[in-house]
Structure 1
Amino acid sequence: MRRRTVLAVAGAAALAWGEWLNWRWSRTLVGRTAESGGASEAVVVLGFRNPQATANFINRWRVRAGIRSIAAESARDTRVIFSGGAAGGGATEAQLMADYAKSVLGFDGTVLLEDRSRTTWENITNVAPLLEGVARIRIASQPAHALKARAYLRRQRPDLAERLVRADDYRPGEWMIVKPLLALYGLRTLRGLTAEERKIELSSAAVTEWFPRVGRP
């Protein structure tokens, strides 16, 4: 019985740790650009290697995360940019994600394709010209990957990085069972970030979200 208790506590701690890290990464390197109003925005959805003829599970989730990131008041002024080249000789990740967004999710907004990139650095290099003129920029992917992309935008185009706001790519309980694994993988992929790039500015609202007040009505 004691062993079961220890395993249960360890499992709960691992799940909480995975949630915390993914929550934290989703709020790192995002600016203070106003979230309200009708100003234009861009949502960048980063592709994952996709050798098959349709969008794979990870790319389907990233598309959904990107679409749900669109601010309701700015929907008509939002461009969704799907970014990712081809794995082999098939269709590009960008095209597969766009097809899924339109044919399955019924998305009928403005779509732009960036279909040459093979790395996250290239994703940012190639989408940067498509981000000119928008007031807000959201990057949608798994939280660690999106943070890496925001760090790259900050290095390449600090002027555009000032317009970064959160994407809706973290939700409590979503991917919960695998979040510890995503956290471990994220720690590995984020080793190249500087201490400054890992810094998170926690507002009182963000702290309240993670640690809700006891007795809240």
Structure 2
Amino acid sequence: MPTRRRIPPAVTTAAAGLVALWLWAEAVDRRASERWLGSGARGTADASSSARRSHAVVVLGYGNTGESANLVNRFRVRTGIRSLDPTADNLLVLCGGPVHSSTSEAVIMQRYARERLGYAGPTALDTTSRSTRENIAHAIPLIEGADTIAIVSNAPHAEMGREILWHERPDLAVRLVRGAEHRLGEAPVLKILGALRATYARRTALWRRSARGITQAVRPPRP
């Protein structure tokens, strides 16, 4: 009778640790997707109007070398498209300048959305920003007319984007609705890396410095 090979304890421990890390990252990701949201309505007068509602989705950029969208930006564009509202007039706002390439992240993401995902809807591009704060600042003029707004990325990064908008334009931030960036079991590596980075940023005050708005006349209450 063949002898059953035993799994070394170190392997079992490592596997259990990876599962625990993944579950923790899932929890961090889900909580981040629920923070710093608004009422989701532009106002009672507009909500009662017979005019069709407008919805803007802001996709935050990520450093992209070369001319093809990298893994992170492909994920963000897919998330942005599935965050569109089928009952509204949508605008997909793609953000990011030429940080690591001669072509802006916004243009690379737009190309991916149209050529690879078949997206044919309206887009607006921010092709000059070089940070998350600039992503939001440059997107503001493009989304001011929207009744509802979603900011998407990986969930902790999207949370930072929403917090920045609360600092910058609380009148727009009250229109924030949840994006579709969090799905259980999706992109586990990106979730783990995003959760680790967000945790490090919070513990070192990097998050607070990054989320500071260009102006700070209004400090919104934390939801």
Question: TM-score with structure 1 length normalisation?
Answer: 0.82
What number of residue pairs does the alignment pair up? 196
Alpha-carbon distance between aligned partners in 2 of 1:178 and 1:61, rounded to the nearest angstrom: 9
Q: SS of the residue aligned with 1:137?
A: strand
Alpha-carbon distance between aligned partners in 2 of 1:97 and 1:137, rounded to the nearest angstrom: 19
2:27 corresponds to: 20
Q: Where does 1:133-148 land on structure 2 (aligned, <5 Å)?
A: 133-148=145-160
Which segments of structure 1 move beyond 4 Å, counting only runs of 4 or more? 1-5, 196-200
Structure 1 range deviating more: 145-154 or 87-96: 87-96
Establish whether residue 67 from structure 1 lines up as the match of residue 74 from structure 2: no
1:30 corresponds to: 37
1:175 corresponds to: 187
Which amino acid is the alignment partner of residue 78 of structure 1? Answer: N
Q: Could you say what the CA RMSD is over the residues aligned between the two structures, in angstroms?
A: 2.4
Q: SS of the residue aligned with 2:69?
A: coil
1:44 corresponds to: 58
Contact 2:60/2:96 (8 A) holds in 1: yes
Question: TM-score with structure 2 length normalisation?
Answer: 0.80
String of CA shifts for 1:42-100, please: whole Å, max 9, x gaps.
000111111201211211111111001112212xx110000111125611111111111
Contact 1:80/1:112 (8 A) holds in 2: yes
String of CA shifts for 1:13-68, please: whole Å, max 9, x gaps.
2111010001110111112325x995111000111111201211211111111001
Contact 2:57/2:80 (8 A) holds in 1: yes
Q: Where does 1:1-217 land on structure 2 (aligned, <5 Å)?
A: 3-33=10-40, 38-74=52-88, 77-87=89-99, 90-190=102-202, 191=205, 192-193=207-208
Which amino acid is the alignment partner of residue 99 of structure 2? Answer: A
Which amino acid is the alignment partner of residue 72 of structure 1? Answer: P
The structure number with the bigger radius of gyration is: 2
String of CA shifts for 1:169-211, please: whole Å, max 9, x gaps.
11100122453332111212344349x98956xxxxxxxxxxx
Q: CA deviation at 1:2?
A: 5.1
